[in-house]
Amino acid sequence: MTAALELKGISKVFGGTRALWDVDLDVEQGEVLALLGENGCGKSTLVKVLAGVHEPEPGGFLAVDGRPVDLPIPTGAASGLGLSFVHQDLGLAGPLTVVENLVGSSLATVARSGRRISWRREVRDASRMLLSYGVGVDPRAVVNDLSPVDQALVAIARAADQLRQFREQTGAASSVLILDEPTVFLPEQEVEFLFDLIREVVASGSSVVFISHDLAAVRAIADRVTVLRDGRVAATTRMSDVSDDEIVELIVGSASAAALDEATAPNDLLDQAAGDVRTSVRVTGLTGGRVHGLDLEVATGEVVGLAGLMGSGVEDVPYLLFGARPSAGGRLEIDAATVDLGRHSPAAAVALGIALIPADRRRDAIAPAVSVAENMMLLVARRFSRGGRLRLGDLRDTADARAESLDVRPRRTSVPIGTLSGGNAQKVVLAKWLEIEPRLLVLHEPTQGVDVAARAEIYRVIQRATTSGMSVIWVSSDFDELATVCHRVVVVSDGRTAGVVDRSRMSPEAISTGVYAAARATTESSLSTAEKVPQ
């Protein structure tokens, strides 16, 4: 059978750095191929070669549906070859409606022709197309008003339908959809919706390249896996022939895999803290967004996880505590200070020693065009000022030392942070906040889009900080992660504390059980209350 996509001898050099080394890769017709590897291993470079963003070195070979393709691919020509891409940012225009996003590429052509657009027909056709992929989204809805999972479904359905139209117009037997971390911003319970859509895409005639750091997602959806390490193909194998541990070893190497096992083992930091379990942080009656009177305590050096289903309010907590979103009330006690959360602000939070690692790193945590050093030292820049002048050399020397200790790659802190991989950018964000030696670190999905090696390094850094007395609130939809890093996990439902999984019962299964049991109890309570209301 002709391969849907075939690459041979693909290489790419940037200056003195070789990002890809003679990469061979093939995607069979009607399959989902997972493409895995550490941040910086070459995945993004390979995708950009396919998208026509990067020009590969001479001598490579590319074929789509058995048809050889001249390299380099001209910018914007990939869709005409039967290749379509959905990146992490989805590529949707948030202020526009779904139907405007779906027909946007053809609007300019229609406008030039002088024809009027029949929006009634466009809405009808868009609805029919979305439903053909099992996506029940109103085409008239504004994209920004959709849930993250619905936005992702729309983006994937749009890309898949472009490939369907390509096959109909050209008679091609297959086409390829490349998904770059499609589950990164989605709660665990929503990922299955995406998987159903991917299966629909494959059934319609496309093959899928699925790029992810989520081994559970890869295991659930992929037929085969190709692993890149240091720009080379480490292995290609069927998922049924390899264990998760073997995949991790392929990704990071055997020596690093052993170190990862040790780094991600459940920690005993409270025991190491010589019995110091005094309360460092107390939150009472936190209210705002979907949070309704939440109470929480965190001991010195303790890592407390927060878990809940989407819409439970758990995702609002980090931003209310930091003052990044308005709070309707509540009180925060941190060491000897007491704060009225209804009057809280980010500036006040920083002054109190509260740090926030937000979920959307690129939007909320970094200045992509600014150097790594300046991003890292942003909060302490005054340390490097003398007589009104910034001693940039001293700032970069300090940043270089931090980059070395956190294994930030590349080591050159003079480069824009936007050029770094997700995992390395996240290390810089973490370093920025640790530079102020916070008393409370609040994390929201801190390892999404981060490879296993960078994740382990983040775990180690935070563990070291807690031994110095820093308290941590860790909000995540990854229950395996919470079970690994947390001393306790507080279950949130209907915006309130609904239960606690303590250290003696800690496991992903216990957290999941607690979360769903709390959600069910909330639903039953709401139904009971509704029955008592006079009609």
DSSP-assigned letter for residue 288: E
pLDDT higher at 133 or 190: 133
| Structure-block tokens of residue 356 | 């926030």
- Does residue 69 contact residue 62 with C-beta atoms inside 8 Å? yes
Axis crossing angle, helix 422-434 with helix 392-406, rounded to the nearest 10: 120
Q: What is the chain's Cα-based Rg? A: 25
How many whole angstroms separate alpha carbon 328 and alpha carbon 320? Answer: 9
Peptide bond into 187 cis (omega under 30): no
Cα-Cα-Cα-Cα dihedral of 213, 517, 514, 244, to 10°? Answer: -30
Percent share of the chain, pLDDT over 90: 45
pLDDT at 75: 85
How many whole angstroms separate alpha carbon 50 and alpha carbon 83? Answer: 8
pLDDT at 266: 42
The yes-or-no verdict on residue 534 having pLDDT over 70 is no
The yes-or-no verdict on residue 370 having pLDDT over 80 is yes
pLDDT at 272: 41
How many whole angstroms separate alpha carbon 302 and alpha carbon 156? Answer: 40
Confidence class for position 421, pLDDT limits 50, 70, 90: confident
Average pLDDT over residues 291-300: 94
Question: Residue 322: in which H helix or E strand, if any?
Answer: helix 317-322
The mean-pLDDT minimum among 89-98, 199-208, 224-233, 521-530 falls in 521-530
The yes-or-no verdict on residue 391 having pLDDT over 50 is yes
Write the DSSP assignment of 463-520 as a string of letters.
Answer: HHHHHTT-EEEEE-S-HHHHHHH-SEEEEEETTEEEEEE-GGG-SHHHHHHHHHHHHH
Axis crossing angle, helix 98-113 with helix 148-170, rounded to the nearest 10: 40
How many whole angstroms separate alpha carbon 317 and alpha carbon 451? Answer: 26
Phi-psi domain of 354 (left: phi exceeds 0; alpha: psi -120 through 50; beta: other): beta
How far, rounded to the nearest angstrom, does the alpha carbon of residue 228 sit from its chain's CA centroid?
A: 20
Q: Which of 413, 448, 363 is nearest to 184 (CA)?
A: 448
Question: Residue 219: in which H helix or E strand, if any?
Answer: helix 215-221
The yes-or-no verdict on residue 268 having pLDDT over 80 is no
Q: Going by DSSP bridges, is the β-strand pair 175-180/83-86 parallel, antiparallel, or unpaired?
A: parallel
